[in-house]
């Protein structure tokens, strides 16, 4: 069975927790993260191409990511693709309470209407894995 391709949208300030998520996903999916770009790659074109090539887009939602212009651009590309293809592609993974409690954006209500994955305890899970 072919593994799904997954694009990870995140803020670099959240890289530690995102790397743990990517490590978990790689056993079941082909994961694309921006660190796979090379010198000279055009960032916007590469990101758009990868979002359009992936089966799912995972938004790692945090205060850091939701205030990032890069992540907002990735979100707009994803939502446009969803509208065009008439299917759900976006998976929202919550890293902190910012999305549900403080983010003032027209997109916030659209994201809050989705079933989300809450990974606020992942840091604890990583710590417990290191202890076993």
pLDDT tens over the chain, length 132 residues: 899 999 999 999 999 889 988 999 999 999 999 878 888 889 999 999 999 999 999 999 999 999 999 999 999 999 999 999 999 999 999 888 887 776 777 777 777 777 888 877 654 333 334 333
Q: Is 115 left (phi over 0), alpha (psi -120 to 50) or beta?
A: beta
Alpha-carbon torsion angle 18, 104, 50, 122, nearest 10: 20
pLDDT at 97: 82
> What is the homologous superfamily of the domain 5-127 according to CATH?
Toll/interleukin-1 receptor homology (TIR) domain (3.40.50.10140)
Tokens of 66: 């939701």
Q: How far is CA 3 from CA 10, 25, 26, 29, in A?
A: 22, 10, 9, 5
Domain boundaries, the chain: 5-127
- In the numeric block, which tokens belong to residue 115? 């079933």
pLDDT number for residue 115 = 80
User: What backbone phi and psi angles, to 5 degrees, belong to 6?
Assistant: -125, 130
pLDDT at 131: 36
């Amino acid at each position: 069975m072919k593994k799904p391709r997954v694009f990870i949208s995140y803020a670099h300030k959240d890289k530690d927790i995102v790397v743990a998520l990517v490590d978990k996903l790689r056993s079941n999916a082909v994961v694309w993260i921006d660190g796979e770009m090379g010198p000279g790659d055009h960032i916007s074109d590469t990101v758009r191409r990868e979002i359009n090539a992936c089966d799912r887009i995972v938004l790692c939602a945090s205060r850091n990511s939701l205030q990032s212009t890069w992540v907002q651009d990735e979100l707009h590309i994803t939502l446009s693709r969803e509208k065009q293809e008439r299917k759900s592609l976006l998976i929202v993974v919550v890293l902190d309470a910012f999305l549900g409690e403080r983010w003032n954006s027209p997109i916030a209500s659209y994201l809050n209407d989705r079933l989300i994955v809450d990974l606020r305890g992942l840091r604890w899970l990583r710590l417990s894995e290191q202890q076993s």
